[in-house]
Amino acid sequence: MGVLSVSNFRKAFYYLRKNGIKNTWYAVWERLLEAKGEAYRYLSPSEVVLAQQRQQGEAFSCTISILVPAYETPEAYLRQMVDSLLAQSYGRWELIVADASRTAQVRRVMEQYQDRRIRYLPLEDNRGISENTNAALAVASGDYVGLLDHDDVLTPDALFEMVKVIEEGKKEGREVWMLYSDEDKGNGELTSFYEPHWKPDLDVELLLSNNYICHFLVIKRELMIKLGLRKEYDGAQDYDLVLRGVEELLYQKKLGRESVCHIPKVLYHWRCHSDSTAENPESKRYAYEAGRRAIADFIKKRGWKGTVCHTLHLGFYRIEYEGGILLQRREVGAVGGRILDRRGRIVGGIYNQDGSCPYLGLRKGFGGYMHRATLTQEAWALDPRNIRVRKELQPVFQEVFGIAYQDREKVKSEQEGLVQACLEFGQRLRQMGYLLVWRGE
């Protein structure tokens, strides 16, 4: 979609009204620079690849129930959604459409499909997206359930890619409980796709800043039944679900991160039209408040004291911990922030496993891809020039960097071996069981 689209002008107007001229100028400037980047093009798997997947999938036993809450869905959208299931290269699925419409338009379309895997579930009244989805869940029979909006579509390889990871986990003796994929957006007619969302593997800190997991989400039915969707979080019910799922798997069941798997491939097309949240963020402001409350519920369960705040961008959040993150969270060993040069560009602060800085060269005031440069996230390594280290770990800091913790700001960027020392310090802390967090500030 072009950067000068009506949709983007609308978003810029909303942003200006909310955040003022200065922040809007940075946002528009960054958007224009991004538009000069490499164009995105979604390529559907070839028929040869899909045929291979059909053959390989015959050896798989996992079944997936796709839950779709419908309400007065336009016929064209509804048919595209159903047809995207019929086009799947993996065939062990069921589609459950829970219809809360007042009219018969959804029923008329669904009755035309004779495939036994397609189940139409009429609801007596509209109880909201969470309760309507829970009604579909109550009759689901699959090993796993996938959540699909009534006006979106899956790519033809979506279910195969999900089941393949599940089956591979079985062979390796581990159980996969939750899976998610990359996604993109499509215009109203789904004739063009844009703004791909390339997601990281599970990063709880980033998840507490934004629901980057979103679509396509597949969860083991056992877990989904236990959690359900909560109607008081309608609008952000999927965010609330993911947060509670992660809390259950990582903190209650004490399972490893491998229980939540990311498939780095676009498997979901999120349709954008005038009423959708993707196209018009202001259309569902209540959803962003529900998201804030979902995070607040998560940190309360963990026993962390703090306030969840909205950021400049709708759907993105920040937790202000009482007394600081190191006081509230004993598992965090160090927290760091960005390093800027004289031109106001990021030159360090956070480093990947290979020693590279993911936000290198980003201008002050810019947020980077999906605003991630401004968000709290897990870090492989942090820079001593902008870091806070737990008191009991400060001797480790001095040992690695060769300077007293109190003198950390005296470190020079040209210091030989600085990045390598950052990597070593990060590794030492992880071996001791601590987490490194970057706050993007």
Spatial contact of 91 and 50, defined as CB atoms under 8 Å apart = no
Taking the C-alpha atoms of residue 258 and residue 177, their distance in angstroms, rounded to an integer, is 9
Spatial distance between the Cα atoms of 440 and 374, rounded to a whole number of angstroms: 4
Q: Which domains does the chain have, with CATH numbers?
A: 47-284 (3.90.550.10), 323-438 (no CATH)
Distance CA 121, CA 107 (A): 9
Give the dihedral of Cα atoms 382, 387, 392, 397; nearest 10 deg: 60
pLDDT tens, the chain, 441 aa long: 544 454 555 555 554 555 565 555 445 544 555 555 568 899 999 999 999 999 999 999 999 999 999 999 999 999 999 999 999 999 999 999 999 999 999 999 999 999 999 999 999 999 999 999 999 999 999 999 999 999 999 999 999 999 999 999 999 999 999 999 999 999 999 999 999 999 999 999 999 999 999 999 999 999 999 999 999 999 999 999 999 999 999 999 999 999 999 999 999 999 986 555 555 555 578 899 999 999 999 999 999 999 999 998 889 999 999 999 999 999 999 999 999 999 999 999 999 999 999 999 999 888 889 899 999 999 999 999 999 999 999 999 999 999 999 998 888 766 778 999 999 999 999 999 999 999 987
Full-prediction pTM beyond 0.95? no
pLDDT (0 to 100) of residue 285: 84
178 within 8 A of 218, measured Cβ to Cβ: yes
Q: Are 238 and 147 in contact (CB under 8 A)?
A: yes
pLDDT of residue 332: 98
pLDDT score recorded for residue 365: 84
Crossing angle between the packed helical segments 47-57 and 158-171, to the nearest 10 degrees: 40
Which tokens hold the place of 128? 């909201």
Cα–Cα distances in Å, from 110 out to 84, 120, 311? 14, 7, 42
Pick from 139, 104, 97: nearest CA to 121: 97
